[in-house]
Chain A
Amino acid sequence: MTPLLEVRSLIRRFGGLIATNNLSFEVATGEIHALIGPNGAGKSTAIALISGEQRPDGGTIRFNGADITALPIAARVTAGMTRSFQITSVLPDFTALENVALVFQVRAGHSFRFWRPAATDRALIDPAHAMLARMGLADRAHIPARDLAHGEQRQLELAMALATGARLLLLDEPMAGLGTTESQAMTALLANLKGHTTILLVEHDMDAVFALADRVTVLVYGQAIASGPPDEIRANPAVLEAYLGEEG
């Protein structure tokens, strides 16, 4: 079976620094694939390259069998992938509901509609309510995003990512800044997505990674040094030395 995402020999340089060095890995349909590695290993750069925010200096990215290396961000979202951000990234002045409704609006096609109010547009509001309910935010729909708790904002981000209808989510540290209980709640939410939505997960929280991931790829200095099931990765001596070892 063709993998949903196939990264081949990806290279990205920043001046003299090589952030992504001949990176290759595959993400199979339906799996949660974790991308781990020490700070500066090029995880966030990899996400930026796959999502289209940055262009690689070499290599190819194939999604669902098609070469998307040259596609702009919007076209990749239409093709079925979207990303979340390491730093919480919602629309702070909008309510939770407006945040998600706007994603459904963008998904519905162009927004050159100048007259009818969007706030009462059932075609946007109804699916937005449903998505918030699914993410456990039903009773927070009318709170401005800036006033939501940090954990709720991360849930809202996930709701927005899912609202794009993406088959592949690129999640850049969804647990960042979350407390223990909040992390567990987020882990449960992601576990619920397993099977429906394929996830490429960049994460520092090893408890979450080993609880969720079907496969793990370890990045060191922009290169994949190992890829396999969590148990295998945990036992891999090269990984222990390069990464797990240094964190104890």
Chain B
Amino acid sequence: MVNRRTVLSAAGLLLALLLPPLATALGKPDLVTLGTQIAIYAIAAASLDLLIGYTGLSSFGHAAFFGLGGYTVGILAFHAAGEPIFGLLPGATEAWIVWPLAILTAATAALAIGALSLRTEGVSFIMITLAFAEMFFFLFVSLKTYGGDDGLGFRRRSGLPGIAPRDDVAFYYICLAALAAVLFLFSRLVRSRFGQVLQGIRQNPRRMAAIGLSTYRYKLAAFTIAGAGAGLSGALHANLLRFVSPDMLHWTMSGDFMIMVVLGGAGSLVGPVIGAAAMVLLQSWLAQWTEHWMIVMGPILVLVVLFARRGILGWLR
């Protein structure tokens, strides 16, 4: 008998691949943008799942790395169009330069923030990650050169050879491919020796210490990898909108990523993708009726947490 999960995954994948022609057929090209948004958020949510679902670390500052990835792209584009950075380094718009740099920037910040935050546990950890993210939020609010509060727009997407920057369908497939790559890498990761250690830490950190494991360095590595994932997500998000703003680093963004993970099903990698889709679709649908769409979203989240312990994914299985 064919597994229900396999059928659902195949259906999801098929839908994702056929979305652009379907959108054209339905006469709703906006669906492609919505799909792109889902894929981008899913990358950040899946990387946060490494921390929440696998390592048991409730980071409330994931938006910091998302925003840093975005601003890396935005700032390099800004300098490419104008003055070099500090009058020395030219800006850049080529994807093969700015995306890896966005990932590297976010990962470096995650390494530094993680190194300090991971000395705490539980509620203190949640609060300190939130505090660091807020620091970055206010940093970008006060950086008037890069638009401050108003954010920073740039004219064109990061260039990839052979792909027209204004082609939304091509960009959708790029984001989809990035999501697939991230999910594949992470699914290998969580089954590796490293992943086993992370899951051990989630289940029983005291026991892991008793068998001779120094948990700190593994938590830090996981935190850095998750930050890198959020950096990629942020870089793509900046490209989608051709605009970055401090909103990307706002604590509500961190909260949204957490909701995606919990709503979809933590500790599964696929769950956060479903969570991202549910969140984006609900938001766009409910926003037609009211700007207070969280009034509806809130109770849904409560019900899911109460009745489907493993999120939407657990309920589908």
User: Taking beta carbons and an 8 Å cutoff, which residues of A are in contact with B?
Assistant: 51, 53, 72-74, 77-78, 82-85, 89-94, 98, 101-103, 105-107, 111-119, 121, 160-161, 163-164
- A84 to chain B: closest residue by CB: B210
Query: A111 touching B196 by the CB < 8 A rule?
Result: yes
Task: Check B200–A85 contact: CB distance below 8 A.
Answer: no
Say whether B92 faces chain A, with CB atoms less than 8 Å apart. no
Chain A residues whose CB sits within 8 angstroms of the CB of B191 once the complex forms: 117-119
* Contact of A114 with B192 in the complex, beta carbons under 8 Å: yes
Is there a chain A Cβ closer than 8 Å to B195's Cβ? Answer: yes
| Nearest CB in chain A to that of B202: its residue | A93
CB distance from B227 to the nearest CB of A (A): 16
Which B positions have Cβ atoms within 8 angstroms of A?
188-189, 191-197, 199-200, 203-204, 206-214, 218, 221
A78-B192 contact given A102-B197, A111-B197, CB 8 Å threshold: no
Chain B residue at smallest Cβ distance from A124: B193
Taking a contact as CB atoms under 8 Å apart, the answer to whether B209 and A90 are in contact is no
The residue from B195, B211, B214 contacting A164, defined by CB atoms under 8 A apart = B211
The 3 closest A-B pairs by CB, nearest first: A77-B212, A91-B203, A113-B193
Known: A89-B204, A92-B203. A118 touches B193 (CB 8 A): yes
* Shortest beta-carbon distance from B235 to chain A in Å: 22
Contact partner of B204 (CB less than 8 A), chosen from A91, A103, A107, is A91
- Whether A105 contacts B204 by the Cβ 8 Å rule is no
Report the Cα distance A107→B193, complex, angstroms.
12
Using Cβ atoms and an 8 Å threshold, which residues of chain A touch B199? 91, 93-94
Report the Cα distance A163→B192, complex, angstroms. Answer: 20
Contact status B210-A82, CB under 8 Å: yes
Distance from A139 Cβ to chain B, minimum over Cβ atoms (Å)? 23
Find the A residue at minimum CB distance from B196: A118
- Contact across chains for B211 and A103 when beta carbons are under 8 A apart: yes
Q: What's the Cα separation between A103 and B92 when bound, in Å?
A: 48
Asked if residues B212 and A78 are in contact (CB atoms below 8 Å), the reply is yes
Q: Are A93 and B210 CB-contacts (below 8 A) given A106-B197, A111-B193, A111-B197?
A: no
Q: Given contacts A93-B199, A94-B203, is CB(A115)–CB(B213) below 8 Å? A: no
CA distance A51 to B218 in the complex (A): 21
